[in-house]
Structures are given as structure tokens and as C-alpha cells.
Structure 1
């Protein structure tokens, strides 16, 4: 009997346990079955959530999400939960934006730098600078720098151009342009100065170079009276020889143009030799004795006959009278002028100068073209490296301190080039 009661008691216990478990299971199944399924996207990550929350606010509480003022939520907090609802939540991030000198802190839910700048309505050009790529993702605490380009007028040794730059200082600008300054170059502003669109940046390029020039020294013609030679006849006693001098100049070049020339050394390579010319003064004796009247007439004629004047001389002898061939030019006006060369054999050239000199018929004549307002036409001049000449021509391009020297050979005139020479106006 006891065994029967024991069995019955055990059966009742197990029946109770099983019933309790079944009820609990059914309750769990019923609880889960009544949950709503919604899709929640948090900062781009999607998840399927089953919830008994009645509203969006309750759902966020279940997910331990606290909504901050700058966060973005696709629905209102009070909106009821419905099955299959798609909810998007984006947490805001802080970003430090510096535009030039102005810096500000922003809260944003933008996903990329480009989206953030678009939200701020900040328009950028290709020439502007931005510290991050437009597609870079926004990170909390990001530091973003933007520099708006300005247009600067830049003069580099005479070459002017307008350049867009985001450089903040002059030194930064020069580095970006790969521009270096040599020791003698001059910058119109300080390297530490700020770059402004209304302040041009100018570099004056200065260099000093050595120029060695060989110059011929004309010989002097000395005429001496000789009574052993028939009157009026000339004989060369000693040939003249042109001398040679080497001059070394220190030339200052400013922005590619010669601005100063200083003679630092002069060496006589060959001394010039005077040309000695004998001028005959011998007269023939009369063959017959002239009558009184004829002799008187001859004597009167002789008294009216001018004395012979020597053409050139730079030295004298004890028994002759000499006259120098060129006057002293120590008091002459001296100019430094740009010189080129021309010939009379160019196409269409008449060879007749402005003062009427026929250069084709007188190829050995030394003539220069001048600006008459600087050197009067007809002036006698001395030109460094060319010699004594006459200012006998003009030219459309010859203005100011410029001259054009006449050289008979067209090829030599073409190879003359451009040079700065000393010019003395003698008379």
C-alpha cells in the first residue's frame, strides 16, 4: 500500500513540474510572438531588432541609446512602433574647421568631408587648399583646414605674371613657385610678410659679370715739311701701325639689362706707331732771268701764297713745324650709350645718310646714326671700339641714348651685336 502511495505521489510531482514548464514555455513563445520586428541602422550599420516597445523613444531606451541635440533620427521619438519599420539613427561628431584665420567648432552628422562642406555651403575652387580629401570619412574631433587662394602679381626679374596661391607668407609663396634668391637679388617685401592680393611681389635680379674688350688704338699721322721733295708731293716715310688695348670691365646686369659698366683694368697689348709723311716744299729754280716786272709779280704772288699746314702731328722735332691731326678731347661731353651696327647694303637702302653722305661711295667713312636731341647732327664724336666719326645719320629705332655705327661689311655689321660704349662729343 505504501508503495502505491509513493508512486502516485511521484507521478503528481512530475505532472506539476511538466505542467509548469509547459506553461512557462508557452508564455515565452507567446511573449516572443507578440514582439514587433524593426530594422535599426546606427551610424551606417544595420540590425534587425524585435521589441515590445510602443514608441521610438522606448526602442532607443531598450538599445541604451541616448539622443543628443545634434544627433539625427529618422522618426519622431513619440512615433509608435510598427512591424517592419526602418529606423535610422546617426550620432553627431565634432569637427574643427579653420578657413584662413577663422576657426570654428561644428557638430555634424555628415558622412564625408565633402558632405560636411556642402552642408556649410562652403564653395571651393580647384586652386583652393583643403587638408583632407573630399571623400574622407568624418571622424570625431577631426581638424579640417581650408585656404582660399588669392591672386598675386609676381614680377620675377622683369617677367610679370598673375598667380593664384594659397601661401600665407612671401617665403612660402617663393618656395611653392620654386624661386630662389641669389646674393645680390633684391626683394621688394620681407619674406615674413603676409601674402595679399593687393601687394605685388617683385624680385630685381642683379648680377655682376666680367667683360673683356679688345680695342684698336688709331695711329697718328705726322706731316713734316721736306725741301728735298717737290712742292705739294707727299711721301710716306714710316708706315703707321694700329695699337691694341685690352680693357676689362665689371658690368652690372639688372633684370637682364646692362645698367653699369666700370673699367677695372686696362692692358696695352701693342703700342700704336705713328705714320710719318713728308710734304714737299722744294721749288724749281727759274731757267731765265725774269725782267723787273715779272720778278715783281712773282714776288707778290709768293707773298700771297699760304704757308703749308701739317695735317697731323703728336710730336715735334727741332727743325720742323707740326700740327696735331685731332684736337684734345679732355673737355668733351662723355655719354654711355647702347650701340648697334648697320651697313649700306641692306635691301631697299639708298646708302645716303640724313646729312647727305653717300656711304656706298665712301665705305671707309666713319658715320654714326644718332638721336639729334641727344647728339646734334654734324657733331664730331669718338666712339669706344669704333674711333673718331661724324654724327651724320638718323634712324627710327635710334632714340635716346642709342647709336648705330656704320660698318661697310654687312656680315660684320650683323655680328656687331649690342654693346654699351663710351661716346665723347668733341664738337
Structure 2
């Protein structure tokens, strides 16, 4: 091949390479310039994502574009400050918090709320949940929610506690009596009891009654009464009594178990008994002797009306009246058993035994010797009633002051 031909072929090829290199260099130059210009338009911002902060540069025009560039999908209830439509400016601080669903259980109802807050009290305020002073909130209002996004509210109600007889109004969120006693730190002793069952369900205005039961042992010494024994005494006039032996009370020690409810004794059980001193019987002699007055002329039995007063004996004045065994309603028998109807001439007087003992032999002025053998409802104190054979004699005697001597 001629040299001229080869030269012609070489120079066009070299020119093509130079053009390609120049084109590449130009493209690189434009790219670098573009990159410099692009980098120069980015703005520095601070992004807070759920409490974690980062510094970054962005060419996004709005907050929403920035979040999207970070693969953050903003939901309806999420918190974005400032709003997604806010233009990006140099040094802008952006905060995004993802909303979470919280369940609020209140007694039998459940409420669902979306929130970005973790504080229990603030979440309840957001949800417009009204609380009373004694309501129980779990977790408490000052704490923050952690993994379990659930708040439990137990609404308090008023009830009455009667403890040992003392009535106390209280607020409670307890469901059963047992739970209520535990929460109120009410301890039951060994014998204490409640009116009802531990498992009873509590409702508003319920009454929980705790009966305080106390068992104590009491030892007392008590007197024991003596027995009264009577025996017949033929030497004593019928109707008269004489104490032969005075009675004396004994003593016994008794041990009791006493049960008290709310401080008041409800039962007393005798556990044991021990005699300390035996009682002494009272012995009373009861007269069985029947006095029989006679109309004998012996001076030892009957003295005529005109006989003079005997010497000796207890002497005093009394008011005297007279009676007859033939009166209406009269039986004719005296208190000592003398039959006056069968023996109308017997000298017998009715007396007050406290003044003249029954069975005594007496002398009565104007009447003579007689037996104190009768009593009468109206014969009290220093009064006597003289037995005479007829009503006429009784009327004739009337009422008078006479001297009496008690001989024996």
C-alpha cells in the first residue's frame, strides 16, 4: 500500500479518539458541576423519630416529603410537628411519633383510643375519662405505659363496714367480701366471724359486718342457800314455831366460759364447780300441841270473874272487846284448835302473838284466868278479844281498858 494511503487512514482515527475523550470529559465536567450545585441546595435539619434524634441534609421541599424519603408512613393519629405541609428550612427541627392503640377497661366496658402519649393520666384525659377520688387505676396515673398497652379502671362505690359494732362508711373497688377485708387490712381473730360469706359479691350500699368474738374464762365464788328443815314438836303449842338451829349460807367456786360478741356477753357455760363451804341447815320446830281450855273449878285452870289479880307475871293494860263462837261466818275453832261451840264456857282470849304468845296462861281484869288460844284480823298490838258464851254477853261487855297479866 502506498505511504500516502496509510497516512490518510491514520489521521481520521486519531481525530475520532480525541473527539470521544473530549465528549467524556465534558460529561464528567457537567456531572461534577451538577453534583456541586445539587449538594449546595440541600438543607440541614434535625429529625426526631419516636424519641431518637438524627441530623441530616435534605433537598425535600416539605416535611411530608422528608418523612417519605426516610420511609416513614404517617398514619392518621401520628404526631408530626410541624405539620407535613410545612416547607423545609435550614435548621428545622421535625418530630414524628407513631400513634399506638390503647385499651381502657372500665368495669365491664372497653374503650379503644389512639395516642402518642405514654403517661396514663394524660391518656385518660385525652380519652375524656372522668375519674373519682377513690377509683382504682392500673397502672397508676403517674406512670407510663410499657409493653402492655392496657389501662384498667375499677370504679369505686360506697358501702358500710360494721366492725365490732362500730359503723364506718367507706369507698371500695373490691368485688368480694374477702378482697375488701384484705384491701382494708381488716384482720379476723380466731373466733371472729362475718355475717355472710367471704365470697359474697359486693355492690353499692352493701353492708359488711364483722362480729368480734371473745372467749374468756371467769372464776367466781358464789353463796349457796341453806335448806330449811321443819320438825314437829309436841311440847310447842300448835301454830307456834321455834328456831332450833340457825341456817348458814355456804359458798361454791364456779368456773365459767364466757362468750362475748362485740363486747357484750351472749353465753355463759359452767365448766366446773367446787364446794368451798357446805351450807348449814336451818332447823325449825313446829308446835303440834293442842291447848284445851276447860271449865274446871280448879284454880290452876279457871278463876271466877271476881278473883283477885295474881302476884307476879308481866302486867300491862290493853283494850278489850268480847266475841262469841256463834257469830256469822265463825267456825267455832280457835287458831290453836280449841272447839268453842262445843265448850261455850271456856275462858279463851284472842291476842296478837307478838304481844302475848299463843298458849300463854293469862289473867284479865274482870274476866279472870284464861288461855291465849286465838287470834283475830283486828287484834293487833295491845288489843284482846274475850270469848263469851252468847252474843248478848258480847254486846254487854262492849269495849273497855283492862289490866292483863301474862303468867306463863
1:279 CA displacement: 11
1:7-406 to structure 2, matched below 5 A, reads 24-139=31-146, 141-181=148-188, 185-219=192-226, 240-263=247-270, 265-274=272-281, 292-293=304-305, 303-305=349-351
Partner secondary structure for residue 276 of structure 2? strand
Partner secondary structure for residue 117 of structure 2? coil
TM-score, with normalisation over the residues of structure 2?
0.58
TM-score, with normalisation over the residues of structure 1?
0.55
Q: Which residue of 2 aligns with 1:329?
A: none
Deviations 1:321-348 (A, max 9, x none): xxxxxxxxxxxxxxxxxxxxxxxxxxxx
Inter-partner Cα distance in structure 1 for 2:135 and 2:86: 45
From the superposition, tell whether residues 295 and 135 of structure 1 become closer, same or farther in structure 2 (CA, over 3 Å). same
From the superposition, tell whether residues 140 and 211 of structure 1 become closer, same or farther in structure 2 (CA, over 3 Å). closer
Inter-partner Cα distance in structure 1 for 2:351 and 2:306: 16
Deviations 1:215-255 (A, max 9, x none): 112446779999999xxxx9986564320123344433222
From the superposition, tell whether residues 296 and 15 of structure 1 become closer, same or farther in structure 2 (CA, over 3 Å). farther
1:158 CA displacement: 0.9
1:31 CA displacement: 1.1
1:155 CA displacement: 0.8
Deviations 1:257-299 (A, max 9, x none): 1123344554433211135689999xxxxxx989633669999
Inter-partner Cα distance in structure 2 for 1:279 and 1:175: 74
Partner secondary structure for residue 104 of structure 2? strand
Deviations 1:116-171 (A, max 9, x none): 11212224345332222434334454222222222220112211101222222211
C-alpha contact 1:94 1:141 (8 A) present in aligned 2: no
Deviates more, 1:177-186 or 1:142-151: 177-186
Inter-partner Cα distance in structure 1 for 2:246 and 2:168: 61
Instruction: Please tell me the root mean square deviation across aligned C-alpha atoms, in Å.
Output: 4.5
From the superposition, tell whether residues 258 and 140 of structure 1 become closer, same or farther in structure 2 (CA, over 3 Å). closer
From the superposition, tell whether residues 296 and 202 of structure 1 become closer, same or farther in structure 2 (CA, over 3 Å). farther
Q: Which residue of 2 aligns with 1:406?
A: none
C-alpha contact 1:36 1:52 (8 A) present in aligned 2: yes
Inter-partner Cα distance in structure 2 for 1:76 and 1:237: 121
1:172 CA displacement: 0.4
From the superposition, tell whether residues 297 and 29 of structure 1 become closer, same or farther in structure 2 (CA, over 3 Å). farther
Give the gaps of 5 or more residues in structure 2: 1-10, 12-16, 290-298, 311-344, 359-408
C-alpha contact 2:192 2:213 (8 A) present in aligned 1: yes
Inter-partner Cα distance in structure 1 for 2:97 and 2:309: 136
From the superposition, tell whether residues 139 and 275 of structure 1 become closer, same or farther in structure 2 (CA, over 3 Å). closer
From the superposition, tell whether residues 294 and 105 of structure 1 become closer, same or farther in structure 2 (CA, over 3 Å). farther
Inter-partner Cα distance in structure 2 for 1:300 and 1:175: 95
Inter-partner Cα distance in structure 2 for 1:295 and 1:154: 95
1:107 CA displacement: 1.8
Partner secondary structure for residue 61 of structure 2? coil
Equivalent pairs, count: 293
From the superposition, tell whether residues 226 and 158 of structure 1 become closer, same or farther in structure 2 (CA, over 3 Å). same
Inter-partner Cα distance in structure 1 for 2:273 and 2:217: 13
Larger radius of gyration: 2
From the superposition, tell whether residues 294 and 143 of structure 1 become closer, same or farther in structure 2 (CA, over 3 Å). farther
Q: Which residue of 2 aligns with 1:380?
A: none
Q: Which residue of 2 aligns with 1:324?
A: none
1:12 CA displacement: 11
